[in-house]
Amino acid sequence: MVNNSFRLMKTCPNSRARAGQLVTGHGKVATPLFLPVATQATVKTLTPEELENIGIDMVLVNTYHLYLRPGISVIETMGGLHKFMGWDGAILSDSGGYQLFSLAHLSRVGDDGILFRSHIDGSRHHITPELAIKFQEALGADIIMVLDECPPSDAGLVRVVAAVKRTHRWAERCQKAQRRGDQALYAIVQGGIFPELRRQSAAHLSSLGFPGYAIGGLSLGETKEVTLNMVEETVAFLPQDRPRYLMGVGSPEDIVAAVARGIDIFDSALPTRVARNGALFTLRGRVNIKNAAYSRREGPVDPECSCYTCRNFSAAYLNHLFKSEELLAYRLATIHNLSFISRLMQDIRSAILSDGFSSFAECFLSAYETTNEAVRLHQKQRWLRSRNQENKHQENKL
């Protein structure tokens, strides 16, 4: 097999759930697959060795952030991303389109590319599809992404149509700009919450013959029902023999539901972000380790978990670390949440290969208590507002 190929190994008879294998220049990676977010060439609080011990085979880095700091040329001079961050596994690099969407007050989108001001020092930059490819080729990730325009979830039809057309033009420009043959370039389907646009985008990009396809512009504030409906509309128009990547989705229940609809790859900062806030995954749902109920609990936070954290530390100790704001709290919580997600992906794959995924999904979802939808949306909007306020505060200091 050549590097960056995909082999579909099994599809469940009663769902669209699939098991496959990505072949990259840094190893074979089983799918379904979850990518922890290493935005600035690090998964917050963890070492590469810890990630490997957890069972992580691939991570995601962000070109926008690395372009600003330390700079593409620095990483290239240091021998590329893998050597720079001491990671021997596979890497996927995001082009930065989503980050420029989230920093909309600092950017302006035009047909040629995106003009933006750095949220760090206010310096002006212009990113084109060609530059996005040039930067990612210099970084040396195994899978790279086209530059796309990601409209907000509440954008109207006219704006989303324009974003889809621009995304398609940029995808073609990225495809023409690619020079390295050892990196797989994935296209990104857009279309907001409009089913017909999702179908059109998926069909058009599929006709261009990319080695993989991502679904972008979801999980931005719409309901979970809408997200999953858009996934279904999109997957139906993507080729069977290419990997499908749902960007920005990382809650356990959403992963299971999306696998059932034919998704192979996921990424999200959610498992590590909520871990640093004391929210830990269990088979019964998230628990807040900072609650007083855990201050005297002798056993681990999850008796069914065999991760390093649960094997060695009590829930009471974790509660103490968080209340004392000790740095170890964030490390142990992150190890636990990523271990949970890694084990979940392994269990999903095993269920698919044994034709038992439908039963597995039903059992998992019936036992897993999800966050109330209204509360989830409120938390999401509060996080987005907090991040935007932080960015604006930084902007005002420039």
CATH of the domain at 62: 3.20.20.105
Is residue 327 domain-shared with residue 356, that is, in the same domain?
Answer: yes
Give 386's pLDDT tier (boundaries 50, 70, 90). low
Is residue 247 domain-shared with residue 362, that is, in the same domain?
Answer: no
Query: Is the Cα torsion angle 188, 194, 197, 202 positive or negative in sign?
Result: positive
- Among 94, 148, 254, 264, the one annotated catalytic: 94
Question: Using an 8 Å Cβ cutoff, are 261 and 232 in contact?
Answer: yes
Is residue 94 domain-shared with residue 218, that is, in the same domain?
Answer: yes
Q: Please tell me the distance from the alpha carbon of residue 358 to that of residue 348, in angstroms, as a whole number.
A: 10
Is residue 211 domain-shared with residue 333, that is, in the same domain?
Answer: no
Which residues, in sequence order, are bridge partners of residue 115? Answer: 108, 126
The range of the structural domain enclosing residue 349 comes to: 276-367
Q: How far is CA 114 from CA 100, 102, 170, 316, in A?
A: 8, 13, 11, 49
Q: Please tell me the distance from the alpha carbon of residue 96 to that of residue 155, in angstroms, as a whole number.
A: 20
186-231 pLDDT, tens digit per residue, is 999 999 999 999 999 999 999 999 999 999 999 999 999 999 999 9
Residue 325: pLDDT above 60?
Answer: yes
299-308 pLDDT, tens digit per residue, is 999 999 999 9
Q: Cβ atoms within 10 A of the Cβ of 116, count? A: 23
- Tokens matching residue 30: 């089983």
Q: DSSP labels for 52-71?
A: HHHT--EEEEEHHHHHHTT-
Is residue 235 domain-shared with residue 294, that is, in the same domain?
Answer: no
Is residue 186 domain-shared with residue 131, that is, in the same domain?
Answer: yes
Question: Nearest Cα to 148, choosing from 131, 133, 161, 166?
Answer: 166
**Domains contained in the chain, number:** 2
Answer yes or no: 94 catalytic: yes
Q: Please tell me the distance from the alpha carbon of residue 129 to that of residue 142, in angstroms, as a whole number.
A: 18
Is residue 214 domain-shared with residue 340, that is, in the same domain?
Answer: no
DSSP-assigned letter for residue 269: S
Question: At 116, is the secondary structure helix, strand, or coil?
Answer: strand
Q: Please tell me the distance from the alpha carbon of residue 390 to that of residue 228, in angstroms, as a whole number.
A: 31
Instruction: State the average pLDDT over residues 344-355.
Output: 98
Omega within 30 of 0 (cis) for the link into 13: no
pTM for the full predicted model? 0.94
Answer yes or no: 57 catalytic: no
Is residue 385 domain-shared with residue 350, that is, in the same domain?
Answer: no
Is residue 73 domain-shared with residue 214, that is, in the same domain?
Answer: yes
49-62 pLDDT, tens digit per residue, is 999 999 999 999 99
Question: Using an 8 Å Cβ cutoff, are 119 and 161 in contact?
Answer: no
Is residue 261 domain-shared with residue 382, that is, in the same domain?
Answer: yes
Omega within 30 of 0 (cis) for the link into 152: no
Instruction: Say which residues have a Cβ less than 8 Å from residue 11's Cβ, sequence separation at least 6.
Output: 17, 18, 19, 352
Give 97's pLDDT tier (boundaries 50, 70, 90). confident
- Among 57, 254, 264, 267, the one annotated catalytic: 267
Q: Please tell me the distance from the alpha carbon of residue 132 to that of residue 138, in angstroms, as a whole number.
A: 10
Give 378's pLDDT tier (boundaries 50, 70, 90). low
Give 385's pLDDT tier (boundaries 50, 70, 90). low
pLDDT at residue 390 in the model:
52
Is residue 223 domain-shared with residue 347, that is, in the same domain?
Answer: no
The single residue listed with the structure tokens 């696998």 is: 259
Is residue 55 domain-shared with residue 115, that is, in the same domain?
Answer: yes
Query: Is the Cα torsion angle 340, 286, 361, 214 positive or negative in sign?
Result: negative
Residue type, 81: L
Instruction: Name the burial class of residue 361, with classes exposed (0-12), middle (13-18) and buried (19+) by CB atoms within 10 angstroms of its CB.
Output: buried
144-203 pLDDT, tens digit per residue, is 999 999 999 899 999 999 999 999 999 999 999 999 999 999 999 999 999 999 999 999
Which residues, in sequence order, are bridge partners of residue 298? Answer: none
* H or E stretch at 30: strand 27-31
Which residues, in sequence order, are bridge partners of residue 28? Answer: 23
